[in-house]
Structure formats: C-alpha cells, structure tokens
Amino acid sequence: MSLTALLVDGLTVRFGSFRAIDDLSLAIDYGEVRAVIGPNGAGKTTLLDVISGITRPKQGRVLFDGAHDITRWSESAIARAGLRRKFQKPSVFEGLTVRQHIAIGADVGFRSRLDAPALEDRIGEVLETVGLAEQGERLAGQLGHGHKQWLEIGMVLASDPRVLMLDEPVAGLTDEETERTARLVRALVRPDRAIVVVEHDMDFVERIADRVTVLHEGRTLFEGSMDKVRADKAVVEVYLGR
C-alpha cells in the first residue's frame, strides 16, 4: 500500500474560459485529515467533483493509491473503489428511513451481499458512531438539518471508505453540533484512511485538520499546519482577512 492516498497532478478544469482549477498539484496521505480552505470560487468543491468523478478535468491526473488514474472512471466505479463523498448540500433520500440509508451505503448491489445479521450489526455500529441510534426508523425527510448532515456522513462511512471527502460538514450547524461533528471526524481517523474536508469554519478546521491546503483561483496558495496558515501574509490577505 502506498502512503499517498490521492495524488493530484497538474489538474486543470475549465468552465468555458473560466479556470476553476489551474494546474493544481497536491498529495493527500493515508492517516491524515486534510482541510481544503479558500475563498468562494477557489475551486474547492470543483476539486472534490473531479475526485468523485462528477466533473471531467481538461488536463492532469488524479492517482488513487499511487496506481490508478481515476479521472476517466465513472462516479459509481470511483465510489466502489472506496472513495466516498458527503455533498455540500445535505443529500439524503427523503423517502427512506435512516436505517435504509446506512444499508444502501454499507453494501453496493441491487441485492445485498451481506447476510441480514451482518448488515444489521453494521447499521447499528454506524448509527452509534454518527449518533443517530435513536432515529433509525425515522424518514430522512423528517430529520433536522444537523441530523441530515450526520446521516449523510454515516451513509458514506458505512462502506469503510479509504478516502472520505466531506464538503462543508458543519455548514448551518449550531456550535454544539459543530463540536460533536469535530469529535466525530477525529474519531474516523485511521492509518489506512485519508479524510479530506472542505470547510469555511476556521475554528472547526483548526480542531480537526492535520494539514491545511489553501486554494486561491484554482491554485495552491499555501500548505501547512493551521498555525502557519493563520500567520501567512498572503493567506490573510486573500482569505482570512484581519
């Protein structure tokens, strides 16, 4: 197993004449929580879109596990390879119960490959982790915003992903919910898993991130620990402000 989970190499994404991502290169290792921050339009979500197969890049590669260029793979093939993503806007299935979400996330296929008790165990375990054990039978459409965020994290977590992408996991959450989410994200760290978080909440980023990549106009502006990010003049100027 390679130490680098994702190697983004010379990536360029264009929408018309606009370069959403401009010759971007970065490496994300197994075992780390990487935060990607930057002003609106910096290319954060676009980067996740490329990694999850929703957007095709103009140029460049994304190597998963050091070997596979996934930029031509379909969304579903990428997900089956172990790269899972929570979307910015909580994306859950309003008509299904919480348990059904985890069952869908845990096992890919029109028929379940896990036997019933194993699946039940897995569902219970995941619901416990994301703190929704009490809500199992509720319909996702009836959940509050915070619970929807956790449900989606649970759903992508259920398959034990190698790469976990979280797009604004604390947007719209209360302070208490943010705190809980931070503990959750740290609890998901494993030596064989990379976690990529896009977020605007700097205190949250500071709590969870091992390293921070600051994007600006589709390029890396700075990379390092949160302390160093806060001290960097260029970052303060374009993003953090003072």
Partner 1 sequence: MTPITRDRPFLLLVALLVILSVAMPLLTGTGLAPSRYLTNAIGQLAAFAVLALALDLIWGYLGILSLGHGLFFAIGGYVVAMYLLKHSFVVTGTVPDFLQFMGWKEFPFYWAGFEFFPYALGVAVAVTLLVSGIFGYVSFRSRVGGVYFAIITQALVYVAMLLMFRNDTGFGGNNGMTGFSVILGQPMGTSGMITALAVASLVTLALVLVGCRWLVGSRFGALMLATRDDETRLRTLGYETLRLKLIVWCLSALLAMLAGMLYVPQVGIINPRVLSPELSLEIAVWVAIGGRGHLVGAVIGALLVNALKFWLSSAAPDVWPFILSGLIVLVVLVFPNGLMDLAKFRLTRPMGPKRMEPNRMEPNRMEPNRMARGIGEARP
Contact flag: residue 116 with partner 1 (CB under 8 A): no
Interface pick for partner 1 out of 9, 12, 88, 96 (rule CB under 8 A): 96
CB 82 within 8 A of CB 165: no
Smallest separation, CB 53 to partner 1 (Å): 8
Contact flag: residue 87 with partner 1 (CB under 8 A): yes
Interface pick for partner 1 out of 6, 33, 43, 53 (rule CB under 8 A): 53
* CA atoms within 13 Å, Cβ hemisphere of 21: 27
Interface pick for partner 1 out of 155, 185, 198, 235 (rule CB under 8 A): 155
- Residue closer to partner 1 by CB (options 81, 240) is 81
Contact flag: residue 206 with partner 1 (CB under 8 A): no
- Which of the stretches 6-14, 61-69, 80-88, 187-195 binds partner 1 when contact is defined by CB under 8 A? 80-88
What are the beta bridge partners of residue 219? 216
Smallest separation, CB 155 to partner 1 (Å): 7
Q: Is 224 helix (H, G, I), strand (E, B) or coil?
A: strand
Contact flag: residue 242 with partner 1 (CB under 8 A): no
Contact flag: residue 157 with partner 1 (CB under 8 A): no
Query: How would you classify residue 218: left for phi > 0, otherwise alpha for psi between -120 and 50, otherwise beta?
Result: left
Interface pick for partner 1 out of 79, 194, 195, 214 (rule CB under 8 A): 79
DSSP string computed for 105-151: HH--SSS-SS-HHHHHHHHHHHHHHHT-GGGTTSBGGGS-HHHHHHH
Smallest separation, CB 74 to partner 1 (Å): 8
Contact flag: residue 192 with partner 1 (CB under 8 A): no
What are the beta bridge partners of residue 7? 27, 63
**CA-CA distance, 53 to 159, in Å (whole number)?**
18
CB 220 within 8 A of CB 24: yes
Helices (H) and strands (E) in the chain, counts: 9, 10
Q: Of 134, 89, 69, 129, which Cα lies nearest the Cα of 105?
A: 129
Interface pick for partner 1 out of 1, 72, 75, 172 (rule CB under 8 A): 75
Contact flag: residue 117 with partner 1 (CB under 8 A): no
- Residue closer to partner 1 by CB (options 139, 238) is 139
Give the footprint of partner 1 on this chain (CB under 8 A). Answer: 52-54, 74-80, 84-85, 87, 91-96, 100, 103-105, 108, 110-112, 139, 141-142, 155-156, 159
